Structures are given as structure tokens and as C-alpha cells.
């Protein structure tokens, strides 16, 4: 089924690992605040739903989406987090700024993930117009914040699993 015809935030909750022992950072852009804060709420609620304690959720607001990678770095430098979730929204509009911003954020978060060896989740909406953004921020296509949270939980748990395997067989 085409993604335009479904809610993309549905997932099998039974396949989700417990996030009770995990800590997360959420970096959220203030630009397009009515959209990004809906993403934030979906993200935060999903983390709590899967066992994350409120004191293990650290939040940082940055002015715009271009600032998400640096905000993510600051989050990783200042909090002991298992994953950093970066949420923003860049609407296409009439200029090509979204092309440059989206590519920069994507590259920045990839580089941070590799440098810190922990997940930096790309929760950036890249819609053509505001209605598409609203549809992906709690509307008919779900909430990208929920998807970012479930990805962060699964990736952080995957990394913890590797650490546990190494310790069980004597690797450091």
C-alpha cells in the first residue's frame, strides 16, 4: 500500500524491547513550532509508554532544523544518553533552502552517530507543504515523533545487546 494511504506510525508493540534502563535526549527545533512540538509530544509519550523514566528524558530546544546536529552533539556531551532523537520540520516552500538544510542535517546526524557510536535519530519532516507536515505530526499519516522514538529504543537496545554479548564472552 502506498505510504500516502496509511498511518505510518503503526508498529507491533509486542516486538518492542523494554526501555526502562535507557536514557534519551530529544532535540527539537522551534521553527514550525506547532508541528515540531506535536512531534515532540508523540516522541516523549512513546518513550514513557515503553518504560523510560521521565528523569531519563533530556530535552533541548534549538532555533531551527539546521541547528539539530549541534544540539545533538551538545546533548551527547552533557548527558549520558543511549540515543539522541532530533525532531524538526522543513517545508519545501518556494526556495531550495530545504534541500540544503535537510542534506546538512542528515549528514550531520550520520556523522554524529558514527563518531559517538550511538544512534542520532533523524526525525526531520521534509514535506512539500504545511498540510503534509500536519498529516505526519499526529494527523492521518501518524506521528514521525512516535516513529523516531521507536527507532531510538530499538537501536539503543540493540547496542546494549552487543555490549552484553561482549561481556558474556570476555571481550572488552
| Active site members | 97
State how far the Cα of 30 lies from the Cα of 44, in Å rounded to an integer.
16
Q: How far is CA 90 from CA 53, 133, 145, in A?
A: 30, 9, 15
CB-based contacts of 170, cutoff 8 Å, min separation 6: none
Other Cβ atoms less than 10 A from the Cβ of 67: the count is: 22
State how far the Cα of 27 lies from the Cα of 73, in Å rounded to an integer.
10
Q: What is the DSSP string of 58-69?
A: EEEEESSGGGHH
Amino acid at each position: 500500500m502506498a505510504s500516502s494511504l496509511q498511518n505510518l506510525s503503526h508498529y507491533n508493540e509486542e516486538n518492542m524491547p523494554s526501555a526502562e534502563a535507557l536514557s534519551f535526549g530529544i532535540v527539537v527545533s522551534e521553527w514550525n513550532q506547532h508541528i515540531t512540538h506535536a512531534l515532540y509530544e508523540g516522541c516523549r509519550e512513546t518513550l514513557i509508554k515503553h518504560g523510560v523514566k521521565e528523569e531519563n528524558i533530556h530535552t533541548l530546544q534549538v532555533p531551527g532544523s539546521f541547528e539539530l546536529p549541534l544540539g545533538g552533539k551538545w546533548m551527547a556531551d552533557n548527558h549520558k544518553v543511549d540515543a539522541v532523537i532530533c525532531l524538526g520540520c522543513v517545508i519545501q516552500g518556494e526556495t531550495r533552502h530545504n534541500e540544503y538544510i535537510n542534506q546538512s542535517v542528515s549528514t550531520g546526524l550520520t556523522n554524529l552517530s558514527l563518531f559517538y557510536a550511538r544512534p542520532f535519530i533523524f526525525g526531520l519532516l521534509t514535506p512539500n507543504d504545511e498540510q503534509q507536515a500536519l498529516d505526519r505530526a499526529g494527523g492521518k499519516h501518524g506521528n514521525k515523533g512516535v516513529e523516531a522514538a521507536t527507532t531510538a529504543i530499538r537501536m539503543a537496545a540493540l547496542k546494549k545487546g552487543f555490549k552484553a554479548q561482549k561481556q558474556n564472552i570476555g571481550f572488552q
